[in-house]
Structure 1
């Protein structure tokens, strides 16, 4: 079954114009390092697909070991040098072993596949942006330690949780150090239920005979925290910031996104954070009347300055990390709304950078075609590369805009995140459990393929026949799985 499915995937890879890869590694239940490889390409029906190809059991997590495992699989699909140019992108997380410019995985793969430009996963970059903003401001770092303390307080005792259930219909989520999506939920929960939390702590103090002294002492501390203006200020501030982070994070998790879509989404995110910065002076009006300062040097001017500093760090980091340079300059070429104003010049710098990154594109023809695209309103109304590609296909314009089609395929094929790799690891945890931790690599990959590529398997009309034929031809068996018709 695994062999048949892989053969189908390889057939599609050989028929498509461009291919991109995603790779990541994790530790499974048996403490083995598992690396996953995912192919992203456009199929014959012009659908963007991300296909799981398999897990690899690695002896270590070095760059050489990971790169060797990736290229062994790539060489089986693209054995000839002329086909290696089809690999146009490689997307990993930001670990130094993956992104290293001299000895990282991306460098070793690029030496064999010259067009495989490295893209740092944008979802990971978003986590790093918020982490940078928090770590550089000590008061913000203390704030997130405080909200983590709220969650830890209730997670340690069912008696405490029972009191919370009496006064609120919602519990606090468990935070994570690496996943800011969880911090988003914690901030929202404490902001919405801060009065219920205060009531809960007061009930614990009233029932002090039912709880240990440490529990009562911590409850008193949390009540003081909920009255502090410093805590409330950062709670209101990050309650304004985190929804925009959550929106962008969810947008980056989608499979059918392209660089043009991501560029517009990140630009919108930067503008929204800028608006939050302008509204920080009005946060004090939301404070309850009994709120007081706890720090000796704390005042609203200091807090407003820190809030603006947090927003400035987020904006600066986002502009740097989400900057579209080199091969991603092609995304600018398709933002026709920037160039359709009368009298505005053609984006020659973006065109030169794109053609330099992808020498298979014809520069002059691409320039001519894009000039037409900018002038036609039906093309300018497209929201991104995927919608524009569908418009060309539906109107049979593939040959008329051949170079633009090639550019669209490149931009759509380029993965902006490693979300699919993370989904593969979720499947790995469901399949390889504590009670099934000795299964072989082939069995693991077969079960994972059945789970993740269920739709592909269902679309293969003769899948069962091919699987039976493949199984029967492996070796001589007592049972006859293949019967020949007698003449």
Structure 2
């Protein structure tokens, strides 16, 4: 904050002999907790005045790549829909019992249990633990909040559609399995991560949930852009005297992937397709989107993919094409 606030910067620079600087992790954590409490009190106040309330729960990862839940609430107040982040939650396990207990605990913190009829919707992904009709989280929440109808996350549906489309091709399944092995190989070891940071200066995204298509997109882009550097990292690990036989065998196999014609073909192919998927994904999540815009965006996406398909059918060699903001391809293939 001192980089942005000249008064705070002067305080830190000129207060070396004073007792309180505010740089202690204890002070910082207490300040953050105080800020969090102020925000939650405001949200509680607004929720108490709202007529309707909805919650959304999804899984994400922290900086240590550990899984946790993120809880978001939506409520109507004075004719406006408000979206508020509530908290990150790490349940004891990923069972329906523990996830439900964690969600109910957060709802109680917002005093929703005092007016349970306000909670009219709950939104999760399609995982059986969350959406199961007999013993899923959504069913257990409805036992406490009878008006809380379950809604499948629409953005997540797009991920599922793309995932299942490509899963029908054996070679594509092998490609993404190999791609995931590359990212996992570097993320599971601090020494390998250090080598990657030094050579590439960028990490290959990893995600515990294979259905998160945006992580696949980022992985494809990163490996495509830094393919040569990643190979060099693997060669350093293979030649390192400190590497054990298991690590060397794994690195050798991954290096083979990055030099395999089939793998490189799919890497090039998806590096061309993925930007269009990302644009469509972002467009469909706009707040002001309507049915007309949705049809327009999907049409642009279909046209872009069709042009890529045509270029593949007519040319033995093709180059990457960059999409424009509306999802169309900016130039035709020669």
Residue of structure 2 in register with 1:66 after alignment: 100
Note the C-alpha offset of 1:139. Answer: 0.4
The alignment's TM-score, normalised by the length of structure 1, stands at: 0.42
Of 124, 144, 147, 1:92 maps to 124
Kept after mapping to 1: 8 A contact 2:74/2:81: no
Note the C-alpha offset of 1:278. Answer: 4.7
**Aligned in 2, Cα 1:151/1:162: closer, same or farther, shift over 3 Å?**
closer
Kept after mapping to 2: 8 A contact 1:100/1:107: yes
Of 233, 245, 256, 2:277 maps to 245
1:257 is the counterpart of 2:292: no
Residue of structure 1 in register with 2:301 after alignment: 272
Of 221, 233, 249, 2:256 maps to 221
Structure 1: 5+ residue stretches without partners: 289-487
1:184 is the counterpart of 2:217: yes
Note the C-alpha offset of 1:197. Answer: 5.0
**Aligned in 2, Cα 1:188/1:34: closer, same or farther, shift over 3 Å?**
closer
Distance 2:148 2:131 in 1: 13
RCO higher in structure (CA 8 A, sep ≥6): 1
1:146 is the counterpart of 2:178: yes
1:282 is the counterpart of 2:311: yes
Kept after mapping to 2: 8 A contact 1:191/1:236: yes
1:41 is the counterpart of 2:70: no
Instruction: Describe how 1:48-59 pairs up with structure 2 within 5 A.
Output: 48-52=82-86
Whichever of the two has the greater Rg, that structure is 1
Kept after mapping to 2: 8 A contact 1:232/1:287: no
More helix by share: 1
**Aligned in 2, Cα 1:272/1:17: closer, same or farther, shift over 3 Å?**
same
Kept after mapping to 2: 8 A contact 1:35/1:58: no
Of 13, 16, 19, 2:53 maps to 19
Q: How big is the alpha-carbon RMSD for the aligned residues of Structure 1 and Structure 2?
A: 5.1
Distance 1:4 1:219 in 2: 50
Structure 2: 5+ residue stretches without partners: 1-33, 320-334
Q: Deviations over 1:403-461 (max 9, x none)?
A: xxxxxxxxxxxxxxxxxxxxxxxxxxxxxxxxxxxxxxxxxxxxxxxxxxxxxxxxxxx
1:175 is the counterpart of 2:210: no
**Partner-residue secondary structure (3-state), 1:286:** coil
**Partner-residue secondary structure (3-state), 1:20:** strand
Kept after mapping to 2: 8 A contact 1:25/1:34: yes
Kept after mapping to 1: 8 A contact 2:91/2:102: no
**Partner-residue secondary structure (3-state), 2:80:** coil
**Aligned in 2, Cα 1:93/1:221: closer, same or farther, shift over 3 Å?**
closer
**Aligned in 2, Cα 1:162/1:62: closer, same or farther, shift over 3 Å?**
closer
Distance 2:280 2:147 in 1: 28
1:117 is the counterpart of 2:157: no
